[in-house]
Structure 1
Amino acid sequence: MTGKLDPSALAALIGATGADDPAVLQGAAYGEDAAAIDLGAGDDRILVVSTDPLSLAAEAVGRLAVHVACNDVAASGADPRWLTNTVLLPDDDPEPRRTVAEQVDETARAVGVAVVGGHTEVVPSLERPLLSMTALGTTDRFLPSGGVEPGDRLLLTKGAGIEATAILATDFREACLDDGVDAATLEAAAAFLDDVSVIDDARAIRDLATALHDPTEGGVLTGLVEMASASELAFEVARERVPVRPETRACCAALGIDPLATFGSGALLAAIPESRVDDALAALSDIGIDGAVIGEAIRPDGVDAGDTDATHAAGTVHLDGEPITEPPRDELYPFWE
């Protein structure tokens, strides 16, 4: 089945951490966006590292791959600076190879990140290009997804399903047209590719936040479950407070997709102490980015996620009162299967 492993299956893989190293401040863990390594000297002494693959968004795979990798570093409180790029191609056709290279180069230049290495080869069993990028950056204050404190307000920038909307408007344009989405809406939705980066979002509010998280596969709902689990807290979230752009509503409604449960790059989840919420919203507004408070972190009254005897179990997201303990499978995946 396409998509992320479930948390229990993932545990066996992320538990294979090799040798112990005291310089590792944050290693592999469910819900965490990136690793943090103490370099031991200088103001920006923490190296933040994250790896992400991308293969399914055919028309913009190079652009999205850069943003997805860099977003995880930005969502950990660092400025992304370097990328390595592993490119696996289904054949030696020069046209897609050239398109991928141009997209990666243009996007990396736009966000100020240098591509410093990687690997390329042809894998005939692939149906489309697959890019796996590792982004690196530095910071003096690492922000883990698991840093949320009870009482923190949960803030979302821009809106749910931004990445999915761009994919629907490009790779699935004809399906959207057939189901009643007009051409003007699709043209506007395709431009959401320009909104997929959260580097500016994170830079604006990272000094005010206790935690940041980048909702990607599975969308805002999966991001919330991951963040609640990593923080060992419960979240209360109101669906009506989650911003969803009109173009996203139109494309998702046409194909029966929940905007909160599909690719969410372009939005940033932030945990902000109540006393700092106004400052965070103002900082975002100053750079032209919308933000909304969508919920609150609650101290759990149960120990384990899924504890049916607890009103607010650790790792549970209560969406309009309905408890969600498992991340949903991204609702866009069936369209590729």
Structure 2
Amino acid sequence: MTGKLGPDALAAVLAATGADDAAVRKGPAYGEDAAAIGLAGAAETLVVAADPLSLAAESVGTLAVHVACNDVAASGADPRWLTHTLFLPDDDSERLRTVVDQVDAAARDLDCAVIGGHTEVLPALDRPLCSLTAMGTTDRFVSTGGAAPGDRLLLTKGAAVEATAILATDFREACLDAGVSAATLDSAAEFLREVSVVSDAAAVRDAASALHDPTEGGVATALVEMASASETALAVERDSVPVRPETRACCDALGVDPLAAFGSGALLAAVPPGRVDDALDALDAAGIEAAEIGAVEVRDGDAAPGTVRIDGEPLAEPPRDELYPLWEAREAEE
């Protein structure tokens, strides 16, 4: 089955941490997407995150850069360096040039340097697999697990920003057949320009207790990961989660829940009540829309740590991303 590993398999991976190293301030943990490494003789912390991408065929290089850099930014750091590992299904020079140009352009936009990597042909693949490792430094590492009872939950931009762009490009014909207008799809495809949360994180990080970057599984999965990492319980109202008209049109057309689809482009922040106005003002000054969607519960005994309530209904496990069945159905037809 395509997608993230299940809890048991993932636990085995997270437990395999190799040798102990005192410089590692934050290592592998469920819900934590980046590592924090103390630099000898320096006040700053090196933040490192890695992510692969293969399914968004039209924009794999662009999205791969942003997905990796988003994890670094959502840890309080400014992304600065990238390594690029690229596996190709064949030696198609045009495809290679397209992916490399996408990576180069996205990295330049974020003022990041590509400092190395690896490229090879792997015929077992049927599409490019692009894996980026991003690095940056910060004097204040912000973990996913820093959320505290009473914090308010903020979300920038809206749900399923990345998924909207994918649906409008990879599944354009299916959306058209389902009644979505060409103009709406053209607008939705432009969401690809908004999948970075580097600016979002820079605006809100000083006020935040915790930050997290929704990716696979969307906002719902990000909420479960933050609740689990912080051992808290989160309460969210679905109607409070921003969903743009283009997102609603594409998701409704293909039967996708916006809260359970690729969410790069949004930033989830837990913010102490006294800093909410500061955070929202900073985001507004940066030209970034944001909304308060819920809170970290002050537990009364009913909400177990790691629990998410959406409209009062518990969500104990992250959902499988709802774009995967669409890809699988298309592959079965081919």
TM over 0.5: yes
Distance 1:104 1:131 in 2: 9
Calculate percent identity across the aligned residue pairs.
71
| Aligned counterpart in structure 2 of residue 329 of structure 1, from 317, 320, 330 | 320
Distance 1:323 1:8 in 2: 21
Distance 2:305 2:299 in 1: 5
Q: Tell me whether 1:317 sits opposite 2:308 in the alignment.
A: yes
Q: Match for 1:331: what amino acid? A: E
Which blocks of at least 5 consecutive residues in structure 2 are unaligned?
329-334
- Residue 42 of structure 1 deviates from its aligned partner by 2.9
Distance 2:153 2:308 in 1: 12
Q: Match for 2:149: what amino acid? A: P
Distance 2:28 2:221 in 1: 18
Partner of 2:31: 31
Partner of 2:331: none
Distance 2:114 2:166 in 1: 24
Partner of 1:7: 7
- Residue 119 of structure 1 deviates from its aligned partner by 0.5
- Residue 335 of structure 1 deviates from its aligned partner by 1.2
- Residue 287 of structure 1 deviates from its aligned partner by 1.1
Partner of 1:307: none
> Per-residue CA shift, 1:277-309, capped at 9, x if unaligned?
0111110011110010100001445xxxxxxxx
Q: Secondary structure at the match of 1:227?
A: helix
- Residue 245 of structure 1 deviates from its aligned partner by 0.5
- Matched ranges for 1:49-198 at <5 A: 49-198=48-197
Distance 1:154 1:8 in 2: 28
Distance 1:335 1:324 in 2: 23
> Per-residue CA shift, 1:60-84, capped at 9, x if unaligned?
0000000000000000000000000
Q: Secondary structure at the match of 1:266?
A: coil
Distance 2:7 2:302 in 1: 22
- Matched ranges for 1:223-302 at <5 A: 223-300=222-299
Partner of 2:332: none
Q: Match for 2:207: what amino acid? A: L
- Residue 221 of structure 1 deviates from its aligned partner by 0.2
Distance 1:155 1:25 in 2: 26
Distance 2:185 2:96 in 1: 27
- Residue 7 of structure 1 deviates from its aligned partner by 2.2
- Residue 125 of structure 1 deviates from its aligned partner by 0.7
Q: Match for 2:157: what amino acid? A: K
Partner of 1:304: none
Distance 2:128 2:299 in 1: 43
Partner of 1:219: 218
Contact 1:7 1:30 in 2 (8 A): no
Q: Secondary structure at the match of 1:295?
A: strand
Distance 1:56 1:234 in 2: 32
Q: Match for 2:204: what amino acid? A: I
> Per-residue CA shift, 1:299-320, capped at 9, x if unaligned?
445xxxxxxxx52011010000
Q: Match for 1:139: what amino acid? A: T
Distance 1:299 1:69 in 2: 33
> Per-residue CA shift, 1:151-209, capped at 9, x if unaligned?
00000000000000000000100000000000000000000000000000000010000
Q: Match for 1:180: what amino acid? A: G
Q: Secondary structure at the match of 1:294?
A: strand
Q: Match for 2:256: what amino acid? A: I
Q: Match for 1:14: what amino acid? A: L
> Per-residue CA shift, 1:110-156, capped at 9, x if unaligned?
01000000001101010100011100000010001000011000000
Q: Secondary structure at the match of 1:220?
A: helix
Q: Secondary structure at the match of 1:285?
A: helix
Distance 1:106 1:12 in 2: 37
Q: Secondary structure at the match of 1:184?
A: helix
Partner of 1:18: 18
Partner of 1:42: 42
Distance 1:275 1:61 in 2: 40
Distance 1:112 1:32 in 2: 24
- Residue 40 of structure 1 deviates from its aligned partner by 2.6
Q: Match for 2:33: what amino acid? A: D
Q: Secondary structure at the match of 1:336?
A: helix
Q: Secondary structure at the match of 1:37?
A: strand
Q: Match for 2:11: what amino acid? A: A
- Residue 9 of structure 1 deviates from its aligned partner by 1.7
Q: What's the RMSD between the two structures over aligned residues? A: 0.8
Q: Match for 1:209: what amino acid? A: A
> Per-residue CA shift, 1:196-239, capped at 9, x if unaligned?
00000000010000110000000000000000000000001000
